[in-house]
Chains A and B, each alone.
Chain A
Amino acid sequence: MTAENVQRPSRRERIADRLRSARETYGRMGRASRISLWLIVLIVGAAVLAPVVAPYSPYQENYDRSLQSPSVDHPAGTDLTGRDVLSRIIFGTRVSLAVGVGSVLLGVLLGVPIGSVGGYFGGWIDEFAMRSMDVVISFPALVLALAIIGVVGGSLWNLILVIGVVFSPQYARLIHGEVLSIKESEYVEAAQGIGLGNVSVLWRHILPNAIGPVIVQATFHVALAIIIEASLSFLGLGVQPPQPTWGVMIADGRRYLPAEWWISVFPGFAIMITVLAFNLLGDGLREVYDPQLVDQ
């Protein structure tokens, strides 16, 4: 029997398969995680449809309405130049999600190939690479990101790049461990036995079975990346004004404390709710993907 003779499911069957397993995953998650998933759908919707959802333009200055406290017209008040805080929070979702999702995608795209190829072939280069990864992983992410951003300068793309690079070793190590254990299993030996090349064995037989923990980690990392972005923006080292971001809004509002407290306080709730939703979703996914945890 050769590799060509092995029946492979059609494209439609594979898509149907994925949908079914996604539904199963959803069904096995706890209530808090399911609510979080819908919350994330809402938040992503708000980011995409920001011009439609936001009551005002985030840049619209209106000095007649400077520093107004929360009211029916402006549920989260206005800032010094009369811009609507709620609209700025809604538009701020865009930067947070872009950095959160973009940096994690980059981290996965960098880390997974390094870790999986290393784990599959082994050798001293792999050994050395993993040791180096351990070093980066043990380092506090915000400290590292701040040091690098300080040197290369802050912008949306630099934030995504730096946070992604800082995250990537975690994916390398995670997938490395998974690949190491899966490559000893019988179905991998069988795939090698029927003459499949190393690349197809790795891509088609090992990675699909190793990706679960990566998805869990990625969900937690989106949450962490949003916090790091907000922290760097708060310090003035992230995305530059007038682009509304939650971190910058909180920093700006500090000058008007305590009288005009709403400028700083409301964006913080936006960060907390978004980050909490990703963290709870990650926890739900972990329970599904790590059966050992289910009965805990």
Chain B
Amino acid sequence: MNRTNYLLKRLFLMIPVLFVISVGIFLLLKLTPGDTVSSLLPAGQQSEAQIAYVTEKYGLNQPIHVQYYKWLANALQGDLGTSYSMEEPVTTVVLRSAWATAQLGIIAAILGLVVAIPVGLLSAAYRGTWVDEFGRLVSFAGISLPAFWVGIVVILVFSLFWQQWYGQTLVPPGGYVAPSKGLVAWFQHAIAPAATLGIGFAAIMVRQIRSSMIDVLGEEYVRTARAKGVRERIVVLVHAFRNGLVPVVTVLGFQIGVLMNGAVVVEQVFQWPGIGRLLYQAVTAKDVPLVQGIVLFVAVVFVVLNLVVDMMYTYLDPRVEY
């Protein structure tokens, strides 16, 4: 199978996946206690005309499969309903917040990799020694830290205590400045939440990079390189590293999930207007259309990213058969 056919097959396989997701998200609306009209309309707007409009639009007086069909037809046209807590179309709100989360995610991923690559490489090169054991403990500690608590401690130390000790804060205790309003101020606000998010990411990447590098270091071409008298540092950094990265890329899709989990609480702690905080706000406001929109958005991003990761895999390792 060539690359185009493979891509088409993957795209085709996405249809049942997206179907399952959409049914699940539709059912979220039905799981809500109370009647569906109240979930779609805030209490203040339940005039007869409004109720009639919503009932007609979502087919609420028809069988459930018709209701699903109507909901899906609207969703496919980009109409995910109106968020009544934000008084804006769901699509607009979700896309705006997603951009704020993406900013954090990118910085967190860069910070995470800057830490994880050297630690993972050293753990693999010195495996079985105290360096490896230390790396294991540190990375498991990183996985075990609750992100919201780390965020609070970061604010406590670098913002509140710093203020008492030195008369000024090292990082602001939360808030958001758009990159267009000044890159320095933006970065000052982004660095603390991004670093907090990056801890869990880095911790998992250390384990991935280590185990993948250990596999590669056992390969024959590495032995050949060593036999030729290539210095160990060159063997690790040049011969093994590039190939060791391939399996790491395949788990990147999963890593986005780790970042999203963190975003829910970290954005709340740092008052960062991203999609995680939006989900929290939607949930507390019982804004069901907004919750649906966010979950759908995250799901679609996931499915697409996993596809991209698969394609990257075949690019990085041309031996992979489609």
Q: A272-B145, A276-B144 are in contact. Are A139 and B153 (CB under 8 A)?
A: no
What A residues does B257 contact at CB under 8 A? 138-141
| Pairwise interchain contact B294-A147, C-beta atoms closer than 8 A | yes
Partner of A258, one of B31, B147, B160, B265: B160
Q: A151-B31, A237-B283 are in contact. Are A257 and B294 (CB under 8 A)?
A: no
Give A126-165 interface residues, CB cut-off 8 Å to B. 128, 131-132, 134-135, 138-144, 146-153
- Which of B69-77, B84-92, B188-196, B298-306 lies at the binding interface? B298-306
What number of B residues sit within 8 Å (CB to CB) of A? 57
| Pairwise interchain contact B265-A272, C-beta atoms closer than 8 A | no
| Pairwise interchain contact A257-B265, C-beta atoms closer than 8 A | no
What B residues does A141 contact at CB under 8 A? 257, 261
| Pairwise interchain contact A138-B261, C-beta atoms closer than 8 A | no
A231 interface residue, CB < 8 Å from B?
yes
A-B pairs with lowest CB-CB distance, top 9? A150-B283, A268-B149, A258-B160, A276-B144, A275-B144, A142-B261, A140-B260, A140-B257, A132-B20
With A146-B279, A147-B283 already in contact, 17 other A-B pairs whose C-beta atoms are closer than 8 Å:
A131-B20, A134-B17, A135-B17, A135-B21, A138-B253, A146-B264, A146-B280, A146-B283, A147-B279, A148-B31, A150-B284, A230-B148, A231-B148, A275-B143, A275-B144, A276-B141, A283-B136
A290 smallest CB distance to B (angstroms): 11
Give B1-49 interface residues, CB cut-off 8 Å to A. 16-17, 20-21, 28, 31-33
B83 interface residue, CB < 8 Å from A?
no
What B residues does A153 contact at CB under 8 A? 33
Report how far A274 CA is from B283 CA in the complex, Å. Answer: 28
- Closest-by-CB residue of A relative to B28 is A151
Report how far A142 CA is from B146 CA in the complex, Å. Answer: 12
Partner of A152, one of B33, B152, B303: B33
What A residues does B143 contact at CB under 8 A? 223, 275, 279
| Pairwise interchain contact A272-B146, C-beta atoms closer than 8 A | yes
- Closest-by-CB residue of B relative to A258 is B160
Report how far A193 CA is from B197 CA in the complex, Å. Answer: 55
| A interface, CB within 8 angstroms of B | 32, 128, 131-132, 134-135, 138-144, 146-153, 223, 227, 230-231, 234-237, 247, 250, 254, 257-258, 261, 264-265, 267-268, 271-272, 275-276, 279-280, 283, 296
B202 interface residue, CB < 8 Å from A?
no
B214 interface residue, CB < 8 Å from A?
yes
Interface SS of B by simple majority: helix
- Closest-by-CB residue of A relative to B140 is A279
B115 interface residue, CB < 8 Å from A?
no
Q: A139-B299, A227-B146, A231-B264 are in contact. Are A276 and B28 (CB under 8 A)?
A: no
B80 interface residue, CB < 8 Å from A?
no
Report how far A292 CA is from B143 CA in the complex, Å. Answer: 23
Report how far A153 CA is from B31 CA in the complex, Å. Answer: 11
Q: A138-B253, A231-B146, A231-B264 are in contact. Are A147 and B214 (CB under 8 A)?
A: no
| Pairwise interchain contact A276-B155, C-beta atoms closer than 8 A | no
- Closest-by-CB residue of A relative to B32 is A151
Q: A151-B28, A151-B31, A272-B144 are in contact. Are A296 and B152 (CB under 8 A)?
A: no
| Pairwise interchain contact A250-B279, C-beta atoms closer than 8 A | no
